[in-house]
């Protein structure tokens, strides 16, 4: 056999085997590569934002802090700084820098480790979008192949834009817009040359060069980037020197923005049911809410001030380690929109929401439901009822129940108006007994109380536990002409393109007649003008409400409303221990409620409570109930249904 022929056959076999191995390696490497055509519809994860009713930013939800922006608004300085720092030959290669790879391989072999990378911007993008961060030959091959494909299908500008919106800059910032906001409190288009250079130096090692962690290293890295730009004639000498001299000014947002944290946490639960948590954290939604930030801040400030005062009083009463809690809840009377909410004094220390989740005894703040049923049954507010000691049989072998007034004083016959205004217990119990406890409970449920209510006379004294949210919703029925509105927190949700994908609509139901609502509102207004709620008179505007205090001063409440806003405040200890002597609803809760309502009246036209055609205004003696044709000394104007 001819020797040349044998050598030829051997050469063909070797080449064929090598080609087969190369083909096998290629197909083995590429068989599980992702399809980059998906980039045509690719939308990076972005930040969802929550806004108050007046457009203030309340919170941000994100898995990665990212705000995609078009390349056109990214400063040229930042583009040049990134390219010259990360991939100086970006506009000259086809996705892979062969010289850079050769240089890196030599260094890695000499060091017997992966000490230097040679990834181009396109390769980094491919790795970020499609691959893991594993350091291996297989991953590098896939990265190179994907980079070639990206370069074939997309322009350099498109690749650079994707890269700038994907790259991690540390401190939770993904993309140049989020980085500019987190570090400098401004949009990327507003960055100075020095700020652009600082950001461009971060992708190499975001944690090491972070200006929040190590300002000195960040400045040294920034200055190195500036030198590169200057040496490569991308910036002038005067601009270079000015940028070197620019001090580091970090005025950005550190961490997630969260105002009204209890409201935001409540909102998160609502959003989970509407759009799902995946979309909330990834889709860049805009959530418009009902929250009034001015009212929220007024409530928080008043809570801090008055709870500090309460703690001081508790210490004077020798209560060890006082740590009382507080909650408030306010809604728009007409729509049910939640205007303010706090479930405690400090969300970070205690995220449990005492406004929506905690069930506590309402005490005397439950009494309006008894008097409301009486009005509905045709009993006028000047009806006399006996205020004297009473005993109720509890059955054979059991001690009789003998309720008492808070003051331990009794007034004989009193009008319903005065009994409610002064929060007398005995008249409320007698009235509930005559109306029927089951009927009182049904009336309360009709107005919005959803918690279980006991079927015994102690219900009249507010012994059945409810939430502050339930009570406030029920009270809002009175100034809303008898219409119950379910609390709502979200007005609309928009996608990242600004299209409305969900809209909130108020939910209304008639709970009692307009005339009955007007009369009970008038009686609750007497609590402020003539009774236990006089502390609210300083607001100088129409207000109505009711105090609530439970046994041994364990809970202090005030529930009430203006023609526009209904609100409730609760104060108590989480462990149900007493707040201290004489810490009533009027003393511990009313001051916070009054501050809330004072703010709620701001920028609203003066209005009075509803006075429908079915009721008439008369002058009555609040003690005897006698009606006078004209105002007389000691008489008060009061509403009566026209029977």
Q: Tell me the three state secondary structure of residue 438.
A: helix
Q: Which of 321, 357, 422, 362 is nearest to 555 (CA)?
A: 362
How crowded is the C-beta side of 579, counted as CA atoms within 13 Å? 29
Which token pair is 311?
Answer: 């703690």
User: What are the residues facing 489 on neighbouring strands?
Assistant: none
- Between the alpha carbon of residue 339 and those of residues 295, 359, 517, 599, the distances in Å are 7, 21, 22, 12
Q: What is the DSSP letter of 459?
A: G
Tokens (6 digits) for 566: 């209904």
Rounded to a whole number of angstroms, the distance between the first and last alpha carbons of the chain is 128
Catalytic positions, written as ranges:
86, 364
| Location of structure tokens 């062969």 | 98
Residues with Cβ within 8 Å of 322's Cβ and at least 6 positions away in sequence, in order, are 310, 311, 314, 315
| Whole-number Å distance between alpha carbons of 158 and 129 | 14
Q: CB-based contacts of 99: which residues, under 8 Å, 6+ apart?
A: none
Q: Tokens for 218?
A: 């960040």
Task: Give the integer Cα–Cα distance in Å for 77 and 164.
Answer: 13
For the record, the structure tokens of 451 come out as 């918690």
Strands (E), 404-474: 412-415
Three-state SS for 30? helix
Q: Yes or no: say if 163 and 124 are a contact pair by the CB < 8 Å rule.
A: yes
| Under 8 Å between Cβ of 429 and 388 | no
What string of DSSP letters covers 49-98?
EEE-TTS-EEEEE-SSEE----GGGS-HHHHHHHHHHH-TTTTTSSS--H
Give dist(CA 486, CA 75) in Å, integer.
49
Q: Measured on CA atoms in the order 143, 147, 149, 150, is the torsion positive or negative?
A: positive
Distance (Å, rounded) from C-alpha 541 to C-alpha 598?
8
Mode of pairing for the β-strands spanning 173-174 and 65-66: parallel
Which candidate, 40, 43, 178, places its Cα nearest to that of 497?
43
Bridge partners, residue 490, by sequence: 289
Sorted by sequence, the CB contacts under 8 Å of residue 129 that are 6+ apart come out as: 39, 42, 162, 166
């Amino acid at each position: 056999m001819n020797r040349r022929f044998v050598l030829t056959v051997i050469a063909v076999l070797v080449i064929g085997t090598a080609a087969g191995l190369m083909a096998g390696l290629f197909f083995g490497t590429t068989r599980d590569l992702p399809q980059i055509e998906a980039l045509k519809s690719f939308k990076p994860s972005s930040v969802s934002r929550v806004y108050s009713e007046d457009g203030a930013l309340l919170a941000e939800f994100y898995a990665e802090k990212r705000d995609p922006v078009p390349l056109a608004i990214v400063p040229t300085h930042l583009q040049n700084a990134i390219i010259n720092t990360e991939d100086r030959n970006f506009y000259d290669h086809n996705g892979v820098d062969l010289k850079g790879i050769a240089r890196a391989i030599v260094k890695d072999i000499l060091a017997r480790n992966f000490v230097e990378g040679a990834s181009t911007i396109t390769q980094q993008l491919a790795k970020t979008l499609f691959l893991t961060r594993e350091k291996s030959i297989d991953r590098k091959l896939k990265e190179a192949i994907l980079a070639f494909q990206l370069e074939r299908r997309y322009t350099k500008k498109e690749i650079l834009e994707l890269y700038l919106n994907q790259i991690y800059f540390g401190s939770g910032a993904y993309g140049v817009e989020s980085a500019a906001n987190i570090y400098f409190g401004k949009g990327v288009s507003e960055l100075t040359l020095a700020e652009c250079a600082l950001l461009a130096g971060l992708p190499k090692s975001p944690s090491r060069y972070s200006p929040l962690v190590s300002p000195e290293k960040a400045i040294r890295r920034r200055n190195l980037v500036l030198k590169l730009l200057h040496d490569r004639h991308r910036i002038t000498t005067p601009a270079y020197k000015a940028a070197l001299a620019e001090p580091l000014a970090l005025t950005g947002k550190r961490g997630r923005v969260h105002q009204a944290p209890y409201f935001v946490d409540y909102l998160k639960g609502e959003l989970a049911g509407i759009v799902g948590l995946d979309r909330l954290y990834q889709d860049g939604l805009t959530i418009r809410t009902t929250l009034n930030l001015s009212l929220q801040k007024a409530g928080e400030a008043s809570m801090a001030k008055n709870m500090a005062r309460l703690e001081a009083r508790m210490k004077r009463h020798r209560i060890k380690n006082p740590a009382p809690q507080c909650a408030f809840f306010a809604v728009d009377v007409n729509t049910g929109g939640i205007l303010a909410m706090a479930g405690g004094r400090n969300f970070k220390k205690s995220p449990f929401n005492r406004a929506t989740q905690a069930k506590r005894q309402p005490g005397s703040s439950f009494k309006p439901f008894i008097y409301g049923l009486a009005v509905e049954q045709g009993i006028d507010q000047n009806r006399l009822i006996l205020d004297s000691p009473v005993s109720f049989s509890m059955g054979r072998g059991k001690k009789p129940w003998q309720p008492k007034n808070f003051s331990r004083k009794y007034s004989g016959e009193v009008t319903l108006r005065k009994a409610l205004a002064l929060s007398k217990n005995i008249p409320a119990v007698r009235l509930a007994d005559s109306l029927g406890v089951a009927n009182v409970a049904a009336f309360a449920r009709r107005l919005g109380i959803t918690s279980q209510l006991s079927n015994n006379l102690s219900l009249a004294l507010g012994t059945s536990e409810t939430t502050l949210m339930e009570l406030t919703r029920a009270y809002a029925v009175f100034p809303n002409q008898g219409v119950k509105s379910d609390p709502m927190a979200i007005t609309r949700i928009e996608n990242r393109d600004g299209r409305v994908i969900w809209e909130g609509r108020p939910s209304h139901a008639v709970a009692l007649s307009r005339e009955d609502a007007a009369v009970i509102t008038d009686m609750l207004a007497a609590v402020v003008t003539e009774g236990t709620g006089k502390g609210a008179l300083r607001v100088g505007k129409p207000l109505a409400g009711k105090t609530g205090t439970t046994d041994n001063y364990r809970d202090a409440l005030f529930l009430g409303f203006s023609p526009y806003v209904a609100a409730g405040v609760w104060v108590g200890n989480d462990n149900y221990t007493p707040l201290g002597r004489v810490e009533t609803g009027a003393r511990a809760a009313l001051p916070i409620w009054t501050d809330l309502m004072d703010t709620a009246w701001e920028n609203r036209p003066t209005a009075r409570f509803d006075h429908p055609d079915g009721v008439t205004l008369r002058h009555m003696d609040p003690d005897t109930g006698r009606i006078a044709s004209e105002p007389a000394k000691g008489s008060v104007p009061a509403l009566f249904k026209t029977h």
